[in-house]
């Protein structure tokens, strides 16, 4: 290392020490010393950074300290987010912790605005994003700091939107920062892992791993005893901060698929829908509506061609099914899994009579346990007879299949199994390019 490089690094370290002293160590609104891992996190002034790993690593404190670093600056504004208001207001959660920190200081709490105002005029607000509709509440807001607690409980779209709220006045010396903190797991696991934990991201979006052993303020022995009651995967995620730990159901492996870049020209195709006509709600992880388009060629090879996966209201589900049918074309029959009872029949009847008029649409009543319905499909995957078109949705597809039936979701498995079952019924007529030749009417026994 050259003397010039050493001098530059020394100067950078001195600047970081001075910044920490001014914004953290001498800050009356940060009531205790940060741990070494928290100190490194707080010294980072890049636009993005992520703190986390195991449970008990001091994530919420790190975000709260980060929010408070610049409250001495007039007009400074910060936002701390949880997925739901219930998460935000739990005893010991980040909003409750802020009350412990600032309740006896000169900062003033607004119960209606859910916001602390500091003597300088700086403000720190608390909010939530239970659904994408909640993004509306922040569309006119402006922040210099956004801290997302338990980031893996959020969708990538929600977090990326928050960048549009990060701005400052010209000449302001407060840094623009988006900070995340989380354990592994939950719905956002893959996108958070890809964005913050890859070696390529560390220069621009550094990850600060913290474990239970990094937090001297917690009773480590008692907390470890509590975690012993969890299943092995969750325990590995929370205790060891293992981002590679995942559920494994042994029915599907991603290496059993062949990944291809072009679709077969001569094939029979179907689109199979597994509906979940409920918008994303206060539940962290509701079901998805999934439509799988699968094809089968004369040589017995199957191809997963397209997956449509989304959450939406009944009206949005209808719009998506209609738009997808238009893209697939009339040569691709549409099968919709019918829920038990009269309400399920009403829903599928509406799709057949009104929403998808002009397309071959069939209601299918699924019978038997899901795992039994998936086994014939699994056998073909295991035999190397199933290909998958390379696409951005592949990772989520593989993750769900490898976790089945132990994972949180099985909607893509259900849709794939359903499509497989329909193609396993020999249709009338030869395979044709771009579509199928199905009988004008399928007998009930053929599709149930």
At 319-356, the pLDDT tens digits run 999 999 999 999 999 999 998 877 788 889 999 999 99
Q: Is the same domain home to 161 and 273?
A: no
CATH number of the domain encompassing residue 177 = 3.40.50.300
Say if 197 falls within a structural domain.
yes
From the number of C-beta atoms within 10 Å of its C-beta (0-12, 13-18, 19+), residue 83 rates as buried
Residue (of 55, 76, 80, 54) closest to 65 by Cα position: 80
Q: How confident is the model at residue 278 (pLDDT cuts 50, 70, 90)?
A: low
Q: Is the same domain home to 283 and 198?
A: no
Number of domains in the chain: 2
Dump pLDDT digits (tens) for 72-127.
999 899 999 999 888 988 888 999 999 999 999 999 999 999 999 999 999 999 99
Q: Is the same domain home to 140 and 70?
A: yes
Residue (of 381, 374, 322) closest to 352 by Cα position: 322
Say if 246 falls within a structural domain.
no
Q: What pLDDT, on the 0 to 100 scale, is given for residue 444?
A: 29
Say if 101 falls within a structural domain.
yes
CB distance 96 to 142 below 8 Å: no
CATH number of the domain encompassing residue 286 = 3.30.420.240
Q: Is the same domain home to 27 and 85?
A: yes
Q: Is the same domain home to 176 and 270?
A: no
Domain boundary among 239, 274, 292: 239
Q: Is the same domain home to 75 and 205?
A: yes
Say if 155 falls within a structural domain.
yes
pTM for the model stands at: 0.61
Domain boundary among 205, 239, 273: 239
Q: Is the same domain home to 322 and 435?
A: yes
Say if 404 falls within a structural domain.
yes
Say if 244 falls within a structural domain.
no
Q: What pLDDT, on the 0 to 100 scale, is given for residue 438?
A: 38
For 292-304, what is the mean pLDDT?
95
Domain boundary among 209, 239, 269: 239
For 298-307, what is the mean pLDDT?
95
Q: Is the same domain home to 168 and 311?
A: no
Say if 224 falls within a structural domain.
yes
Domain that holds residue 51: 3-239
Q: Is the same domain home to 99 and 219?
A: yes
Q: Is the same domain home to 228 and 286?
A: no
Q: Is the same domain home to 185 and 269?
A: no
CB distance 291 to 326 below 8 Å: no
Say if 248 falls within a structural domain.
no
Q: H or E segment at 272?
A: strand 268-274
Q: Is the same domain home to 204 and 287?
A: no
What mean pLDDT value characterizes the chain? Answer: 85
């Amino acid at each position: 290392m050259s003397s010039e490089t050493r001098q530059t690094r020394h100067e950078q370290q001195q600047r970081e020490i001075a910044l920490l002293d001014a914004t953290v160590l001498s800050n009356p609104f940060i009531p205790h010393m940060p741990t070494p891992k928290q100190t490194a996190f707080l010294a980072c002034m890049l636009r993005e950074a992520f703190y986390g790993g195991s449970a008990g690593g001091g994530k919420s404190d790190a975000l709260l300290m980060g929010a408070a670093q610049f409250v001495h600056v007039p007009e400074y504004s910060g936002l701390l987010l949880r997925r739901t208001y219930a998460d935000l207001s739990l005893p010991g959660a980040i909003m409750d912790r802020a009350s412990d920190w600032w309740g006896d200081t000169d900062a003033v709490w607004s119960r209606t605005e859910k916001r602390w105002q500091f003597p300088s005029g700086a403000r720190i607000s608390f909010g939530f994003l239970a659904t994408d509709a909640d993004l509306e509440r922040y569309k006119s807001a402006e922040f210099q700091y956004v801290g997302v607690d338990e980031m893996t409980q959020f969708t990538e779209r929600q977090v990326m939107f928050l960048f549009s709220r990060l701005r400052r006045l010209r000449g302001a010396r407060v840094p623009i920062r988006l900070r995340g903190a989380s354990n592994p797991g939950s719905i956002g696991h893959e996108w958070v892992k890809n964005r913050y934990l890859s070696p390529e991201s560390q220069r621009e979006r550094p990850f600060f791993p913290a474990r239970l052993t990094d937090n001297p303020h917690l009773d480590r022995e008692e907390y470890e005893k509590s975690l012993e009651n969890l299943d092995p995967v969750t325990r590995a995620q929370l205790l060891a901060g293992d981002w590679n730990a995942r559920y494994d159901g042994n029915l599907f492996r991603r290496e059993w698929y062949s990944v291809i870049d072009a679709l077969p020209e001569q094939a029979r195709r179907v689109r199979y829908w597994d509906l979940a006509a409920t918008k994303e709600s206060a539940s962290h992880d509701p079901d998805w509506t999934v439509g799988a388009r699968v094809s089968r060629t004369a040589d017995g090879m199957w191809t997963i061609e397209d997956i449509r996966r989304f959450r939406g209201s009944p009206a949005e589900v209808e719009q998506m099914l209609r738009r997808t049918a238009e893209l697939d074309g009339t040569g691709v029959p549409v099968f919709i899994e019918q829920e038990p009872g009269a309400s399920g029949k009403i829903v599928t009847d509406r799709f057949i009579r009104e929403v998808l008029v002009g397309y071959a649409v069939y209601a299918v009543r699924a019978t038997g346990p899901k795992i039994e319905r998936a086994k014939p499909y699994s056998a073909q995957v295991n035999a190397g007879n199933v290909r998958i078109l390379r696409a951005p949705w592949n990772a989520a597809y593989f993750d769900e299949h490898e976790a089945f039936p132990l994972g949180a979701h099985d909607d893509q498995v259900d849709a794939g199994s359903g499509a497989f079952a329909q193609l396993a019924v020999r249709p009338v007529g030869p395979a044709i390019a771009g579509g199928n030749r199905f009988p004008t009417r399928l007998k009930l026994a053929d599709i149930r």
